[in-house]
């Protein structure tokens, strides 16, 4: 037998039984974004490699080892986007959207990282991201965090996610802290694992992020960044905390929250859950004021976040989130050749009369019994039953498939009204 072609490891099909959850999430996202005045932007999936090198940072895991980079036919180095922040800013700069303006945007779609696949970590995954430009104060930091909270409540996830917060200060403050960390961890070189030794040279803040339990005590005793925060950074952070408290949003201060991308400054945050095992961060973001200039633009205020759609969907599936099932309203059983011809016309007429009706008409013939089984399996609430006799005299059988109820016969001419009443369209 010919061998089948398989999907790429870590890249998943989303099958029809899963798409209702995705659609529900997307619908809530659209609604909540509208409620805060964020406009949607759609961006290319491929960008010049340089964009990510210059924004995410040369010595981050993403740029060092996770990007899908390839040479275009003309030799340009291109990369499948590993995240959306860089592309969004590139687009705004390219189209001059940031000139003396504030801008609130959101986007969604697939991202690509060549990570080791495991539950909650994929090579193609989906993010929904939010970016807000031109607003330097903590008010917008609070807004994007409150927006994310509203999403969780819209998805019935309130109470299942914890907000962790930290401030990374300004670049100068971070450099001073970095020097202190190099000094501190340098004294304990012998205890460091190869990854941390490497990071000591390249990106010492990331050592704080290490999941190696042998390093936990050493990390816990490391100098705290809060001692290096300047007045402005501290005021900004306090301003955010005050606004979150006013909004009744509880948070946990996590001084070890450093994030895996280089562009952050001041506020960083993550929404985490203990329900998903190792990959418990469902949403993460922060301020990245320096990136606009770094990418050749003018202006210096930007904040955003991205949520991992697969991780959220996993939580929706696990909990009693009340997901819609991909079930039609009615299944039309049509037994016999002339009933099938008649049924086809009837189905079109019903769809004309009731634009919200979801009707699956049996195709591929079959006995009454086998069609009835398909009707049941479809999850439809009602079966419409059309035999040769009914077709001839303009009648149709109606049988509720959920929660009992007898079969009745109604005239086809009143069927639209019958269905309208039944489903309350």
What is the binding site for ligand HAM (CB under 6 A)? 83-85, 113, 115, 120-122, 125, 127, 129, 131, 260-261, 281-286, 288, 304-306, 308, 310-311
Nearer to ligand HAM, 121 or 198 (CB): 121
Q: How far is the CB of 420 from ligand HAM (least distance, A)?
A: 43
Q: Closest CB to ligand HAM among 131 and 173?
A: 131
Our CB check for ligand HAM shows the closer of 46 and 395 to be 46
Of 130, 146, 127, nearest to 138 by C-alpha is 146
* Look-up of token digits 């008409």: 361
Please identify, using beta-carbon distances, which residue of 79 and 281 lies nearer to ligand HAM: 281
Specify the residue, 144 or 323, whose C-beta has the smaller distance to ligand HAM.
144
Residue 126 or 243 with smaller CB distance to ligand HAM: 126
Burial class (CB in 10 A: 0-12, 13-18, 19+), 296: exposed
To the nearest whole angstrom, how small is the minimum distance from the Cβ of residue 123 to ligand HAM?
Answer: 7
Pairing mode, if any, of strands 382-386 and 359-361?
Answer: unpaired
**Rounded to an integer, what distance in angstroms lies between the CA atom of residue 396 and that of residue 387?**
8
Check the CA dihedral 346-352-358-363 and report its sign.
positive
Q: How far is the CB of 380 from ligand HAM (least distance, A)?
A: 34
Residue 161 and residue 269 in contact, taking contact as beta carbons nearer than 8 Å: no
The C-alpha angle with vertex 270 and arms to 274 and 199, in degrees rounded to 5, equals 100
Residue 289 near residue 256, CB atoms below 8 Å = no
Q: How far is the CB of 342 from ligand HAM (least distance, A)?
A: 50
Q: Which is nearer to ligand HAM, 162 or 388 (CB)?
A: 162
Question: For residues 140 and 304, what is the distance between their CA atoms, to the nearest angstrom?
Answer: 9
- Supply the minimum distance, in Å, between the C-beta of residue 186 and ligand HAM: 28
The rounded distance, in Å, linking the Cα atoms of 210 and 16 is 38
- Cβ pair 78, 47 in contact under 8 A: yes
Q: Pick between residue 261 and residue 385 the one whose CB is nearest to ligand HAM.
A: 261
- At closest approach, how far in Å is the CB of 249 from ligand HAM? 18
CB of 240 to ligand HAM, least distance (A): 15
| 322: three-class secondary structure by DSSP | coil
What ranges make up the beta strands (E) of 159-280?
A: 162-167, 252-253, 265-272
The beta strand positions in 41-91, using DSSP E, are 46-48, 68-71, 77-80
Structural Rg of the chain based on CA atoms: 28
Task: Output the smallest distance, CB 254 to ligand HAM, in A.
Answer: 14
CA distances from 21 to 18, 153, 265, 360 (A): 6, 15, 34, 21
C-alpha–C-alpha distance, residues 338 and 93, integer Å: 63
Question: Which residue lies nearer to ligand HAM by CB, 129 or 297?
Answer: 129
CB of residue 144 to ligand HAM, shortest distance in Å? 9
Q: Which is nearer to ligand HAM, 297 or 343 (CB)?
A: 297
Q: Which residue is nearest to ligand HAM (CB)?
A: 308
CB of 391 to ligand HAM, least distance (A): 52
CA distance 165 to 255: 8
d(CA 373, CA 167): 59
């Amino acid at each position: 037998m010919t061998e089948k072609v398989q999907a790429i490891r870590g890249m998943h099909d989303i099958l029809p039984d899963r798409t209702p959850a995705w659609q529900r999430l997307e619908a809530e996202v659209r609604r909540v974004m509208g409620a805060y005045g964020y406009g949607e932007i759609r961006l290319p999936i491929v960008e010049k490699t340089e964009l990510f090198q210059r924004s995410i940072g040369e010595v981050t895991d993403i740029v060092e080892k996770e990007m899908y980079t390839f040479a275009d036919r003309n030799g340009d180095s291109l990369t499948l986007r590993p995240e959306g922040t860089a592309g969004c800013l590139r687009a705004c700069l390219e189209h001059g959207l940031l000139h003396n303006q504030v801008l609130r945007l959101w986007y969604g779609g697939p991202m690509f990282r060549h990570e080791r696949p495991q539950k909650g970590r994929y090579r193609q995954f989906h993010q929904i991201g939010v970016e807000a430009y031109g607003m330097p104060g903590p008010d917008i930091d609070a807004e994007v965090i409150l927006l994310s909270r509203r999403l969780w409540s819209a998805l019935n996830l309130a109470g299942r996610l914890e907000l962790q917060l930290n401030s990374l200060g300004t670049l100068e403050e971070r450099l001073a802290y970095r020097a202190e960390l190099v000094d501190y961890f340098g004294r304990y070189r012998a205890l460091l694992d190869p990854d941390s030794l490497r990071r000591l040279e390249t990106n010492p803040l990331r050592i704080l992020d290490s999941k190696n339990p042998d390093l936990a005590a050493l990390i816990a005793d490391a100098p705290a960044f809060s001692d290096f925060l300047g007045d402005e950074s501290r005021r900004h952070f306090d301003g955010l905390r005050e606004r979150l408290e006013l909004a009744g949003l509880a948070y946990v201060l996590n001084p070890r929250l450093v994030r895996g991308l280089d562009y952050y400054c001041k506020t960083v945050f993550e929404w985490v859950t203990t329900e998903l095992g190792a990959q418990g961060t469902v949403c993460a973001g922060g301020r990245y004021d320096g990136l606009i200039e770094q990418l050749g633009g003018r202006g210096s205020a930007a904040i955003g976040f991205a949520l991992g759609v697969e991780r959220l969907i996993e939580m929706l599936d696990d909990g009693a989130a009340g997901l819609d099932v991909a079930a039609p309203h009615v299944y039309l059983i049509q037994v016999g050749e002339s009933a099938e011809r008649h049924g086809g016309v009837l189905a079109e007429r019903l769809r004309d009369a009731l634009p919200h009706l979801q009707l699956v008409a049996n195709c591929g013939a079959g006995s009454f019994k086998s069609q009835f089984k398909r009707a049941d399996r479809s999850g439809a609430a009602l079966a419409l039953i059309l035999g040769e006799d009914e077709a001839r005299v303009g009648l149709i059988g109606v049988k509720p498939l959920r929660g009992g109820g007898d079969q009745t016969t109604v005239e086809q001419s009143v069927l639209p009204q019958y269905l309208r009443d039944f489903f309350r369209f």
